[in-house]
């Protein structure tokens, strides 16, 4: 049931020619591999006003890239999905485009599950083709995340959407839940693609390209579940030791993470609550307008005024609906992703501590001559390297994460403010035009009365 | 037999008006004109201003409300609110106003005044009082009568009530109304001395009783339907408005939480800190702005509520007509039956059942003299009956004429007021939107600087 095809060149050539050709400045633009053009691209992208249509960002991208299989104006949804990503980290090297869409329900005798279609477009040499289409289920995503964490224990791996949300779930797979999850999975894969290190991970590549049976067999190769669980138990025990010897900068980092986690969780709750209140307000408003229509049926002289009031209220109602959907698209997913990120970060800190603990325990053993000390110095040397690598990786990734977080939060809240401004502007226009029409009417009537 | 008084007992004569202001020839002439035209509503700007001579000459305001304690009829301590009513007369020449009367009244006295007016002006749509207890509340307002916001709105409502009476061409000249404004002590006794409670037709209060009226004036039947519809639709509107207000309150107030959390978060952020902090401040401003917005809307709701209660006043007039019509039809029926009896006695045929007829059958025929006597009695009764019927008919027609005139006046007032209220609602929405744009523009600026 999990079908996938290797897309061929022929498929993409069926796209409207107006797209890429129209946008490119003509002639072969330099491939993003060269630093000159990438710098140019970078400044262009960063200079853009936040409020501009995202489509322009990527058409400018495409115009400077030699992507023969890629058009910014595709009729199908994947591209419009890509365009929803605001400029994140390292936009200069974007040569991997991923979309997650088309959730499909699969029913077997044992279970029901959802698969998502994943389309990958790339110009990278290490990929056998430039387009891939696969179907993956949530379990597969979990597997991928586990592999990434294994390979890069102190890198900040993007978070996955939750397995299930217990509160308020009537059935396991209602449409809203699936859509929210789809968007989050899309974000997950794209964050990995944008990460300077993770993007070249082998398991990631396999995830994006392998056929169903290929993936299954590959999965079985990794360390077994039992051994992984054993690792977890040891990890908890040893991470305590790691905390004691934690360097200053990581103490600071940890403090930040703890406080950030608190605040972002609160903001998540507040934002969800606002959405709920707006929805309830909308539900009541829907009833409010029609009563004025009902009233107008018994008032001869007030018919027009009452009907106009009713239509104003209805228009404000629609504006509220739009504001709500803006909130749920721009703000809620971003805030929630950072809630998950904050949990992720705590896990990263633990893993770092654990690596350090390994080193510390060996050092302790050497100092107190607990075990056979012949091989220890060599082991310690290796572990010292390991710790240094882990710390450096985390430090670098931390800076990158913080930068992204600031951008994302700033953008999300700015969008929310914009939605609210737009909402109030619409309502204002509605009521002002009502007032104008009433005063005009009044003037008309007054002039009619004059003898 | 006019329903519309210039009844010297109830209506003020020109003389008592003098103490209020300088003897004004124009005023006297105006009063004279009104006594002539009493009961007739002539449309036209001139008559209206003349009819509003109270409004031109005096200002009435309910300026204060005070909590008081006292002993009630059962000698138990109670707390109530008293309202200060100030009357000012406007000097003709320089427009200055001089305080002429000031006294304190409580709600129950307003109720007494209205009950009195209902009895003596049954053909008038008597202005309603503001509600006794807070209804259509949303969660913020308590239903407590002592709540300062409620008391304030009631003060405004009572002032409105007095102004409505003062601007009514007929009601404004009522002596009891004048005394209400000027005679603090003994006013209650004076009202009760009019004996209005006795005059009140108890049937008017029996809301459930139906009177089978064969020929009601169609306009009144329609008016009754209209008042039922008005009451139902305004109630519905007020209920939904209260719910909408409740929800809106929720939306605004939850945003206030952002303020607190942003502020706490800003403590750990180096670059974002300032932006977060100031954005948080704007969220607090946004959250607190809803209180004034909803307070204003409450006044709008009060305007609608007045017309909700006016529906009841309309129904009262319809009911009075119904009763008069019923009495008329009953009287006619009674007369017809007496005439028939008389005819039967004279001709000797018994078609109608009568007690006399039965006793005759049982105890034997009556003598011709007895029969003559009975016929004579009946003829007298018939005469009386015909007189009464004639006067009842006249009464009825006068009532319909006068009532309908006041109803036309009321309709125009209602259309003006409701239109104004709806426009004021739009103005409130506009103000709310402008505030929202302001706050969110400020917040957006802070966010974009983070």
Which of the pair, A168 or A368, is modelled with greater confidence?
Answer: A368
Give the DSSP H or E segment for B324.
helix B273-347
Percent of chain A residues topping a pLDDT of 70: 70
The answer to whether the Cβ–Cβ distance between A409 and B257 falls below 8 Å is no
pLDDT of residue B342: 84
Q: What is the pLDDT of residues A382-439, one digit of tens each?
A: 888 888 988 999 999 999 999 999 999 999 999 999 999 999 999 999 999 999 998 8
Tell me how many degrees the CA angle A410-A411-A414 measures, rounded to the nearest 5. Answer: 85
From the list A280, A309, A434, the residue facing B247 with the nearest CB is A280
pLDDT above 70: residue A83? no
The answer to whether the Cβ–Cβ distance between B247 and A281 falls below 8 Å is yes
Give the DSSP H or E segment for B68.
strand B58-71
Q: Chain A partners of B443 at a C-beta cutoff of 8 Å?
A: 413, 417
- Domains of chain A, earliest start first: 93-223 (3.30.1520.10), 236-450 (1.20.1270.60)
Q: Which CATH architecture has domain B218-348+369-449?
A: Up-down Bundle (1.20)
**Averaged over A249-276, what is the pLDDT?**
94
pLDDT above 90: residue A321? yes
pLDDT of residue A77: 47
Q: Chain B partners of A255 at a C-beta cutoff of 8 Å?
A: 268
Q: Chain B partners of A283 at a C-beta cutoff of 8 Å?
A: 247
Q: Chain B partners of A51 at a C-beta cutoff of 8 Å?
A: none
pLDDT confidence band for A51 (50 / 70 / 90)? very low
Which of the pair, A53 or B76, is modelled with greater confidence?
Answer: B76
pLDDT of residue B146: 72
Can you give the residue ranges of every domain in chain B? 218-348+369-449
Which of the pair, A43 or B241, is modelled with greater confidence?
Answer: B241
Q: End-to-end CA distance of chain A, in Å?
A: 84
pLDDT of residue B390: 92
Nearest residue of B to residue A293, measured between CA atoms: B233
Query: B 62-91 residues with CB below 8 A of A?
Result: none
pLDDT of residue A332: 94
From the list B244, B267, B422, the residue facing A285 with the nearest CB is B244
* Inter-CA distances, A294 with A166, B234, B236, Å: 42, 10, 10
The answer to whether the Cβ–Cβ distance between A417 and B440 falls below 8 Å is yes
Q: How far is B142 from chain A (nearest CA, A)?
A: 21
Strand ordering across the sheet containing B97-106? B58-71, B77-90, B97-106
Q: What is the pLDDT of residues A340-381, one digit of tens each?
A: 999 999 999 988 888 888 888 888 877 777 666 677 778 888
Q: What is the pLDDT of residues A188-229, one digit of tens each?
A: 999 999 999 999 999 999 999 888 878 888 877 765 554 455
Q: Chain B partners of A409 at a C-beta cutoff of 8 Å?
A: 272, 450
pLDDT of residue B29: 31
Q: How far is B50 from chain A (nearest CA, A)?
A: 21
From the list A263, A284, A414, the residue facing B247 with the nearest CB is A284
Query: B 217-276 residues with CB below 8 A of A?
Result: 226, 229-230, 233-234, 236-237, 240-241, 243-244, 247-248, 250-251, 254-255, 257-258, 261, 264-265, 267-268, 271-272, 275
pLDDT of residue A306: 95
Q: How far is B295 from chain A (nearest CA, A)?
A: 18
The answer to whether the Cβ–Cβ distance between A295 and B441 falls below 8 Å is no
pLDDT of residue A234: 57
The answer to whether the Cβ–Cβ distance between B237 and A263 falls below 8 Å is no
Q: Chain B partners of A438 at a C-beta cutoff of 8 Å?
A: 419, 423, 426
Q: How far is B41 from chain A (nearest CA, A)?
A: 20
The answer to whether the Cβ–Cβ distance between A288 and B229 falls below 8 Å is no
pLDDT above 60: residue A37? no
Q: What ipTM, to 2 d.p.? A: 0.81
Nearest residue of B to residue A306, measured between CA atoms: B422
pLDDT confidence band for A66 (50 / 70 / 90)? very low
Mean pLDDT of chain A: 77
The answer to whether the Cβ–Cβ distance between B237 and A305 falls below 8 Å is no
Which of the pair, A111 or B296, is modelled with greater confidence?
Answer: B296
Q: How far is A297 from chain B (nearest CA, A)?
A: 10
The answer to whether the Cβ–Cβ distance between B426 and A434 falls below 8 Å is yes
CB-based contacts of B396-400 (< 8 A; 24+ apart in sequence): B396/B321, B396/B324, B396/B325, B396/B328, B398/B1, B398/B2, B398/B3, B398/B4, B399/B3, B399/B122, B399/B123, B399/B320, B399/B321, B399/B324, B400/B217, B400/B220, B400/B321
From the list A256, A431, A434, the residue facing B433 with the nearest CB is A431
Q: How far is B290 from chain A (nearest CA, A)?
A: 14
pLDDT of residue A451: 54
pLDDT above 70: residue A337? yes
Nearest residue of A to residue B253, measured between CA atoms: A274
The answer to whether the Cβ–Cβ distance between A284 and B427 falls below 8 Å is no
pLDDT of residue B134: 77
pLDDT above 90: residue A53? no
Nearest residue of B to residue A426, measured between CA atoms: B433
Q: Chain B partners of A50 at a C-beta cutoff of 8 Å?
A: 448
CA pair distance A2, B303, nearest whole angstrom: 66
pLDDT above 50: residue A79? no
The answer to whether the Cβ–Cβ distance between B233 and A417 falls below 8 Å is no
Which of the pair, A28 or A282, is modelled with greater confidence?
Answer: A282
Nearest residue of B to residue A441, measured between CA atoms: B419
**Segments of chain B with pLDDT less than 70:** 1-57, 91-95, 139-145, 203-211, 349-366
């Amino acid at each position: 049931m999990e079908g996938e095809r290797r897309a061929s060149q022929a498929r993409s050539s069926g796209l409207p020619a107006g797209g890429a050709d129209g946008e490119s400045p003509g002639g072969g633009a330099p491939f993003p591999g060269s630093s000159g053009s990438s710098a140019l691209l970078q400044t262009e992208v960063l200079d853009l006003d936040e409020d501009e249509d995202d489509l322009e960002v990527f058409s400018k991208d495409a115009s400077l890239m030699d992507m023969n299989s890629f058009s910014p104006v595709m009729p199908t949804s994947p591209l419009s999905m890509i365009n929803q990503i605001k400029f994140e980290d390292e936009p200069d090297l974007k040569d991997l485009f991923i979309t997650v869409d088309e959730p499909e329900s699969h029913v077997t005798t044992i279970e029901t599950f959802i698969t998502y279609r994943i389309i990958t477009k790339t110009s990278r040499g290490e990929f056998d083709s430039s387009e891939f289409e696969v179907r993956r289920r949530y379990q597969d995503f979990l597997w991928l995340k586990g592999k990434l964490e294994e390979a890069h224990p102190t890198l900040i791996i993007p978070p996955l959407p939750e397995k299930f949300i217990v509160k308020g779930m009537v059935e396991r797979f209602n449409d809203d839940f699936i859509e929210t999850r789809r968007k989050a999975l899309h974000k997950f894969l794209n964050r990995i693609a944008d990460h300077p290190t993770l993007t070249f991970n082998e398991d990631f590549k396999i995830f994006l390209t392998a056929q169903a049976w290929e993936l299954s067999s590959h999965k079985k190769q990794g360390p077994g579940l039992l051994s992984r669980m054993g690792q977890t138990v040891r990890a908890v025990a040893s991470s305590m030791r790691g905390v004691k010897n934690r360097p200053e900068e990581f103490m600071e980092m940890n403090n930040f993470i703890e406080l950030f986690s608190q605040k972002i969780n609160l903001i998540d709750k507040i934002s969800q609550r606002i959405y709920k209140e707006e929805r309830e307000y909308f539900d009541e408003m829907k009833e409010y307008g029609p009563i004025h229509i009902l009233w107008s049926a018994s008032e001869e002289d007030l018919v027009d005024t009452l009907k106009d009031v009713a239509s104003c209220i209805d228009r404000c109602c629609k504006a509220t609906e739009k504001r709500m959907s803006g909130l749920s698209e721009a703000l809620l997913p971003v805030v929630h992703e950072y809630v998950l990120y904050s949990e992720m970060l705590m896990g990263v800190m633990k893993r770092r501590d654990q690596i350090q603990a390994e080193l510390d325990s060996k050092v302790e053993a050497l100092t107190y001559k607990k075990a056979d000390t012949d091989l220890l110095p060599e082991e310690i040397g290796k572990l010292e390297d390991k710790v240094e690598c882990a710390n450096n990786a985390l430090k670098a990734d931390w800076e990158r994460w913080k930068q992204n977080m600031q951008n994302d939060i700033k953008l999300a809240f700015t969008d929310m403010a914009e939605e609210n401004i737009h909402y109030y502007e619409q309502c204002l226009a509605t009521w002002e035009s009502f007032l104008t029409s009433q005063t005009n009417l009044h003037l008309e009537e007054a002039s009619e009365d004059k003898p | 037999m006019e329903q519309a008084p210039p009844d010297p007992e109830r209506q003020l004569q020109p003389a008592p008006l003098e103490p209020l202001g300088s003897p004004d020839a124009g005023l006297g002439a105006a009063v004279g004109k009104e006594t002539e035209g009493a009961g007739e509503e002539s449309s036209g700007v001139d008559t209206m201003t003349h009819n509003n001579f109270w409004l031109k000459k005096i200002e009435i305001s309910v300026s204060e409300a005070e909590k008081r304690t006292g002993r009630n009829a059962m000698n138990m301590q109670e707390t109530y609110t008293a309202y200060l009513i100030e009357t000012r007369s406007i000097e003709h020449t320089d427009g200055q106003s001089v305080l002429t009367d000031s006294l304190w009244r409580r709600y129950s006295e307003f109720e007494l005044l209205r009950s009195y007016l209902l009895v003596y002006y049954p053909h008038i749509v008597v202005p309603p009082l503001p509600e006794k207890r807070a209804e259509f509340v949303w969660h913020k307002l308590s239903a407590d009568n002592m709540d300062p916001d409620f008391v304030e709105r009631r003060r405004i409502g009572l002032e409105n009530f007095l102004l409505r009476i003062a601007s009514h061409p007929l009601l404004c000249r009522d002596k009891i109304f004048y005394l209400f404004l000027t005679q603090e002590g003994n006013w209650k006794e004076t009202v009760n001395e009019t004996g209005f409670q006795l005059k009140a037709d108890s049937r008017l209060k029996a809301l459930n009783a139906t009177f089978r009226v064969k020929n009601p004036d169609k306009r009144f039947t329609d008016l009754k339907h209209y008042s039922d519809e008005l009451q139902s639709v305004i109630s519905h509107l007020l209920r939904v408005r209260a719910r909408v207000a409740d929800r809106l309150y929720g939306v605004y107030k939850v945003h206030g939480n952002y303020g607190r959390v942003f502020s706490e978060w800003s403590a750990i952020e180096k670059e974002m800190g300032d932006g977060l902090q100031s954005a948080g401040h704007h969220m607090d401003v946004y959250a607190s702005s809803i209180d004034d917005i909803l307070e204003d809307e409450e006044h709008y709701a009060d305007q609608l509520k007045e017309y909700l209660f006016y529906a009841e006043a309309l129904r009262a007039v319809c009911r009075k007509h119904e009763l008069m019509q019923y009495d008329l039809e009953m009287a006619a029926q009674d007369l017809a039956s007496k005439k028939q009896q008389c005819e039967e006695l004279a001709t000797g045929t018994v078609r109608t059942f009568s007690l006399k007829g039965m006793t005759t059958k049982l105890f034997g025929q009556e003598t011709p003299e007895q029969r003559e006597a009975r016929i004579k009695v009946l003829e007298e009764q018939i005469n009386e009956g015909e007189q009464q019927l004639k006067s009842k008919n006249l009464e009825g027609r006068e009532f319909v004429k006068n009532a309908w005139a006041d109803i036309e006046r009321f309709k125009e007032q209602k259309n003006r007021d409701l239109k104004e209220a709806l426009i004021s609602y739009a103005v409130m929405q506009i103000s709310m939107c402008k505030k929202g744009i302001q706050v969110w523009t400020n917040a957006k600026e802070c966010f974009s600087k983070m």
